[in-house]
Structures are given as C-alpha cells and as structure tokens.
Amino acid sequence: MNQRTFVALALLTVASSVGVVLAVTRPAAAPPPAQRVTAVTREPDDPAAARDEENHFAPGSPAAMAERFLRARLRYHYDDAAALATGHERARCDRNVTLFREMSPEQREDVRQAQLIAEAATFDLERAVTDGLQPSPAGLARKRVRGVVHARGPAGGHTIESRRDQTLVMELVEGAWRVAEWTPGASDAGITVR
C-alpha cells in the first residue's frame, strides 16, 4: 500500500469515528410536555388570565411555595397543586384530578367557566408569618405558614375583593418545601365590591 492509501484510510477511520460519536451523543428530542388534565381550554372571547406577582417571598421559601400552591389550588389547577403538595394534600389534589378525568363534557364546561373567573383573579398571600415546627414522624423538617390570601378579580364591570386566613404546614421533601396540610380560615373582611 502506498502512503496515499494509508492517509485515505486514516481519514475514513477518523470521519467514521466522529460520526459514531456524534450520533451516540446527539441529544434526544425532549418529549412533548404532558397535557395537564386541569388546564383551561381558552376561547377567543374568554377573559384574560391575571399576571401573578412572583417576588413577594424568597424563591423556594416556605411562604413562596405556599403562595404558589394556593394559586394553583384556588384556580382549580389540581395537577399543578399536586406537584407542590405531599401527603394528605397531595392525595386530595390527585383525587380531584381523577374527578376531572371522569367529568362529562357538560360538567367540564361548568368547571371551565369557574376556572376562567378564578384565572382572571389575582391571589396574593399577605401578612405571611413562618414558624418552625417539630419534624414530622418521618423525620422531615416542617414549617407552618400563616397568612391571608387576598383575592381580587373582575366581575360584571366591578372589582371584587376578599381576604381569608390561611394556615399551611410545609414539609421539606427532597430539598423542596411542599404543602402537607392546608386549613383555610374564615373570611376576615368579607367580599368588597368596587
């Protein structure tokens, strides 16, 4: 064999090796996101969804996670709320997701209308106080978040507001705070129409 043949063979070997490495290490396409069962199917004439203010609390803190859970739960997004919950609260949200799956089209439309109203409203956790609690029986760190959820939204050309006490017990699960217990209290000022 002459030198040209060796060079050609070497180049072919390098090229095929690079091709194999590129084929093996090429990132796979991300699977499409799973359709959320409780997602709202929007129509063109539906009211716009509210924009949430996300910087009330330090990201990932017990109060921030409590506020995210409350927003998902109060907007009937039980699958999103389930991802932010553990234990009893997770089971409650999972049951509601199952109920969504089993709804007739007529029932689903009734719930969709309620969801549109809830999505047009803002839900902010105010006056939040976080206390330490004893670890759970499983040894998980726990905190209690007490505050007031302030709901505001449009209705019939007016703005409706209400405030309601909230108590949430948070557990640190795999490095993230999750809602283990949620107890809504009585409304402190009733509903205000402006």
Give the closest residue to 150 by CA, choosing from 128, 117, 183, 179: 128
Residue pair 52/71 in contact (Cβ under 8 Å)? The answer is yes
Q: Which domain holds residue 189?
A: 62-193
Does a structural domain hold residue 55?
no
Domain holding 77: CATH number? 3.10.450.50
Residue-level pLDDT, tens digit, the chain, 194 residues: 566 665 555 555 655 554 544 444 454 444 444 567 788 888 888 888 888 888 889 999 999 999 999 999 999 999 999 999 999 999 999 999 999 999 999 999 999 898 998 999 999 999 999 999 999 999 999 999 999 999 998 877 788 898 999 999 999 999 999 999 999 987 655 555 55
Return the pLDDT at 32: 44
Residues 6+ apart with CB under 8 A from 167: 144, 145, 146, 181, 182, 183, 185
In a domain, 135, yes or no: yes
Instruction: Tell me how far apart the alpha carbons of residues 184 and 88 are, in angstroms, rounded to a whole number.
Output: 15
Residue 39's pLDDT is what?
81
Per-residue pLDDT at 158: 82
Q: What are phi and psi for residue 135, nearest 5 degrees?
A: -60, 155
30 in a structural domain: no
Alpha helices in the chain (DSSP H): 3-25, 62-74, 78-83, 87-102, 105-120
Judge whether 45 lies within some domain. no
Q: pTM for the full model?
A: 0.77
Would 129 be classed as within a structural domain? yes
Q: What is the pLDDT of residue 5?
A: 60
Contact (Cβ atoms closer than 8 angstroms) between residue 174 and residue 84: no
Residue 181: inside a domain, yes or no?
yes
Domains identified in the chain, total number? 1
Q: Show the tokens assigned to 21.
A: 């490495």
21 in a structural domain: no
